[in-house]
Protein backbone atom coordinates (compact mmCIF):
# COMPACT_ATOMS: atom_id res chain seq x y z
CA UNK A 1 0.00 0.00 0.00
CA UNK A 2 2.78 2.42 0.92
CA UNK A 3 4.68 1.58 -2.24
CA UNK A 4 1.62 2.32 -4.37
CA UNK A 5 1.19 5.70 -2.65
CA UNK A 6 4.88 6.48 -3.14
CA UNK A 7 4.74 5.62 -6.83
CA UNK A 8 1.56 7.69 -7.24
CA UNK A 9 3.27 10.71 -5.61
CA UNK A 10 6.29 10.36 -7.88
CA UNK A 11 4.12 10.15 -10.97
CA UNK A 12 2.07 13.15 -9.83
CA UNK A 13 5.24 15.15 -9.24
CA UNK A 14 6.56 14.39 -12.71
CA UNK A 15 3.22 15.09 -14.38
CA UNK A 16 2.97 18.41 -12.55
CA UNK A 17 6.46 19.27 -13.76
CA UNK A 18 5.70 18.66 -17.42
CA UNK A 19 5.25 21.57 -19.80
CA UNK A 20 6.79 25.00 -20.10
CA UNK A 21 7.22 27.06 -16.99
CA UNK A 22 6.62 30.81 -17.12
CA UNK A 23 10.37 31.53 -17.12
CA UNK A 24 11.06 29.12 -19.97
CA UNK A 25 8.14 30.46 -21.99
CA UNK A 26 9.56 33.99 -21.59
CA UNK A 27 12.84 32.74 -23.02
CA UNK A 28 15.09 32.87 -19.98
CA UNK A 29 15.94 30.83 -16.95
CA UNK A 30 17.53 32.15 -13.83
CA UNK A 31 18.86 29.29 -11.79
CA UNK A 32 16.60 26.79 -10.15
CA UNK A 33 13.03 27.12 -11.31
CA UNK A 34 10.29 24.57 -11.34
CA UNK A 35 6.58 24.75 -12.04
CA UNK A 36 6.00 22.71 -8.86
CA UNK A 37 8.18 24.91 -6.67
CA UNK A 38 6.30 25.95 -3.55
CA UNK A 39 3.82 23.10 -3.76
CA UNK A 40 3.54 19.99 -1.63
CA UNK A 41 4.79 17.86 -4.52
CA UNK A 42 7.72 20.22 -4.96
CA UNK A 43 8.65 19.88 -1.29
CA UNK A 44 8.49 16.08 -1.54
CA UNK A 45 10.74 16.09 -4.60
CA UNK A 46 13.19 18.51 -2.95
CA UNK A 47 13.30 16.36 0.20
CA UNK A 48 13.87 13.18 -1.81
CA UNK A 49 16.63 14.69 -3.93
CA UNK A 50 18.39 16.33 -0.99
CA UNK A 51 17.87 19.87 -2.26
CA UNK A 52 16.32 20.84 1.10
CA UNK A 53 19.58 19.88 2.81
CA UNK A 54 21.59 21.88 0.27
CA UNK A 55 19.48 24.98 0.95
CA UNK A 56 19.93 24.52 4.72
CA UNK A 57 23.69 24.11 4.25
CA UNK A 58 23.89 27.32 2.20
CA UNK A 59 21.94 29.25 4.86
CA UNK A 60 24.20 27.87 7.60
CA UNK A 61 27.34 28.79 5.65
CA UNK A 62 26.06 32.34 5.13
CA UNK A 63 25.27 32.66 8.83
CA UNK A 64 28.70 31.36 9.83
CA UNK A 65 30.39 33.76 7.44
CA UNK A 66 28.38 36.72 8.79
CA UNK A 67 29.17 35.82 12.40
CA UNK A 68 32.84 35.33 11.58
CA UNK A 69 33.01 38.70 9.83
CA UNK A 70 31.33 40.44 12.78
CA UNK A 71 33.66 38.76 15.30
CA UNK A 72 36.70 39.75 13.25
CA UNK A 73 35.44 43.35 13.09
CA UNK A 74 34.79 43.41 16.86
CA UNK A 75 38.25 42.00 17.55
CA UNK A 76 39.92 44.57 15.30
CA UNK A 77 37.96 47.40 16.95
CA UNK A 78 39.00 46.20 20.40
CA UNK A 79 42.64 45.82 19.30
CA UNK A 80 42.60 49.37 17.89
CA UNK A 81 41.28 50.75 21.19
CA UNK A 82 44.24 49.29 23.08
CA UNK A 83 46.87 50.85 20.81
CA UNK A 84 48.70 53.87 22.21
CA UNK A 85 47.87 57.04 20.36
Q: pLDDT tens digits for 29-83?
A: 555 565 666 788 778 878 888 888 888 999 999 999 999 999 999 999 888 877 7
Instruction: Determine the structural domain holding residue 42 and report its residue range.
Output: 38-85
Answer whether residue 64 is part of any domain: yes
Contacts of 41 (CB under 8 A, 6+ apart): 9, 12, 13, 16
Answer whether residue 79 is part of any domain: yes
Answer whether residue 11 is part of any domain: no
Establish how many alpha carbons lie within 13 A of residue 49's alpha carbon, considering only the half-sphere containing its beta carbon.
11
Answer whether residue 59 is part of any domain: yes
Answer whether residue 83 is part of any domain: yes
Answer whether residue 60 is part of any domain: yes
Q: Domain total for the chain? A: 1
Cα 37 to Cα 2, 23, 68, 72, 73, distances in angstroms: 24, 13, 32, 38, 38
Contacts of 22 (CB under 8 A, 6+ apart): 35
Answer whether residue 25 is part of any domain: no
Is the pTM above the cut of 0.85? no
Amino acid sequence: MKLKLFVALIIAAFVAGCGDSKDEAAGGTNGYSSPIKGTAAGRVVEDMTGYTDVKAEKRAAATIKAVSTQERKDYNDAADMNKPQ
